[in-house]
Structure 1
Amino acid sequence: MRITGEQRRRRLVVRQLALGADLPGSPAARTPEEVTRRLVALHATDAPSVHLAVLARVPGLGLDDVRDALFERRSLVKVLGMRRTMFVVPRDLVPVVHAAASAPVAARLRTRLLKELATLPTDPAVEDPEALVAAAEAQVHAALAAGPLDGAELSRAAPLLRTAFLPTTDKAWDVRRTMTSPLLSVLSAEGSVVRGEPRGAWSSPRHVWSPMTDWFPDGIPAMDEEAARVELARAWLEAFGPATVADLRWWTGWNLGQARRAVAALDVREVELEVGPPGGDTVVADGVVLRATDLDADLDPALDDVVGGHAALLPTLDPTTMGWTARDWYLGPHRPQLFDSAGNAGATVWWQGRIVGAWIVRPDGELVWRLLEDIGTDGEAAVAAEATRLHEALGGSTFTPGYVTPVYRELLTADT
């Protein structure tokens, strides 16, 4: 069975973008929790992305709806997980992500921190890295027991966090850095602390930390690692399939053997996938699909109007933009303009399930966008309408993305 690029893009609209629409076999998402569940996880490294990913998919939801899910209901939780990346996941998926991705990441981060303390110059000098880390952990937990604190407040309340790594070269990036960030990353991945609400505006990168027991009083429920990987693979294929094992391996951060074992434990069907760019040469890869019957549902003619007229403005590091490692089938030739040098995606404009442009919000609150290809007058009108809707949903709020792409710099200063 071969699944064409057009069919994949159609499925992408139905399963990942048009979540606010009642579609045959796919009821509308009404809440931030439902949006997140349909996408498995939302990227949370860039502070505004979680809110914007939800607003892009469900008209009628606002910034406060996302905040309430995160910090009032606490039904969505920030976890350091796949690929050592901060994500927001549904509360009941936290044990799966923790066992399948976070705990292995935590082990690597702790080993790295201890090695750096043992081998790099520090101020003050460190004689016993393990004793220092244990004492710093105790200070962090004691400080957070009194209430949430941001990184700067924590470093004052837990002075061992101010232990600094000293530069070893004259490179511009090699600067004095404290132990605060690497240790909080370890504790976050281990599931003992959780990233909380930002200080100030919703888009602020300055957030507080709290004990994970504020979210899970008895701690994150334990789960077998192998079983958790199978469940995470199942959830991911439900949202992102059909896909290749290489896509799953990249998204999870697993090695190839782990990805293959997880897929082998599922009831999947092997398929051929077209992975080449729209309108380009046909390129085929081996893939798998969790439920082949869903493919027929996505081809229902009743969905033609939704798919054919769908436009979206997705944020930096959106889960759909970053969902696969092979992206030509929806990205086309636009990678150099829309990704930074480290592979981080900027904010993108979508039409009929493929990326066709970029957008930003300027410091004065103006939302501007640019198409990188001709999508016709109907497409331009749909994008313009979606830009107006999103601008109104933001209510004049502004934000600065954490990752800057070439087209972002151009839009920041270009005449409109």
Structure 2
Amino acid sequence: MNKNRHQYNALKKNIDFYKHSIKYNHVLAQQFVSLTYSLSSFKKKKIKSLVSPFFKTINFHSLKDAFAANRIVVTNVTNRADYVELINKYFEKSDDWDRVSLEELNFRFCFKIMNILQSVVFVFTRKLDLTFLQKLYISAHLSHYLNITDGLVSLFNHFNFNEKVYVPFNSAYDIETLLTQFFKSKGCKVIHISHALSYVNFKYDTVYDFINGENITAKNITVWGESSKLDLINNYNIGEDSIKICGNPKYPEKIINVSKEFSKCVVFLGRPIYDEYNIELIKLLNVIAKKYGIEFTIKPHPFSDFEKLNAASENGNISVVSGKETIFQLLNSGIYNFAISYNTTAYFEAMYYNLICLRFSVFENEVFHGLDDNFFDEVSFMKQLDKFKKIDIEQINADVSKTLIYNLGMGITEYLTMFN
């Protein structure tokens, strides 16, 4: 465990504010990360942005309206196309649900002197290795979350949550950690849905990754396949009874028949924290494209620097898509006959669409349970292609099928009953 993680753990342990059945050290995880893993970015913040949360709350009337009209209410913090796509797939056979986008809710001015005083006194009397401005930053956000809780208490006063189900897209992060705890305290059934293979081991400590496991606030957790259940148990000590393998609606049962052609490749890059090595991969593919005539289409992460990645693709056989296309759209196009992935679960998704997917292993961080398909340079890349061209087709199809069931939950349909 590195220094940043120790600092994060210390903040979470010491800022253990509890009120209205809510543990606010879970809600403040994002702010703790800012002071430990992203301190350089924090130092650029202006005083106004540090103190403005003292005077803010969020209007949740649309959330109440959704609960009043539906049995199931889903929230999401980020309107990423692939996230919304997954949510819609989960509930496409239900007519008694609604989704509320939290990023679209309006902030309102709120001045509650007791929340301000309570937050400042609590934070500033803790024994914390923080500067004055850092303590002020935490105090402001704690006050902001107390403002939100007060609003929720008033808004849902006497609301009947009998048979209601709240489904946060990620109960481990941001405002959904507060909503999860609040609705649990009101007797509402809360179910955490997994949006990726988020609970794997990591070779190196990276921002936010561990939060997806250690900061889950829902009691009921759904995962896609057996691998995620075991990862939650082994990596985060979550009780087996809290976890249910539900499958992934994007991956119904199918017969796998992988392609053994290797002329057109779709490349799924890792998140922005891996951009240094994303660029290294693109430069390697420039060489391979020139030498072997393979066509590569690069799919950046939505939050990556598109212009920087595009600039690295200097060969006519390499194109970089804008980021608006989802992984599903690219794979479902039928254009590609193999794939490359880097620190992303698109590795498994490519296999579902009958593509051999090779993994770039330079600074590979996320430990997925997959096949023997890593490469790190031109020679190892061509060796992998040669191996898969010669491998018995029935054997590789069987291996891919087992891998997809174990990781993606291919063909498992328990999600249809999980929300009842």
TM-score by length of 2: 0.25
For the pair shown, which has the larger CA radius of gyration, 1 or 2? 2
Bigger relative contact order, structure 1 or 2 (CA pairs below 8 A, ≥6 apart): 1
TM-score by length of 1: 0.25
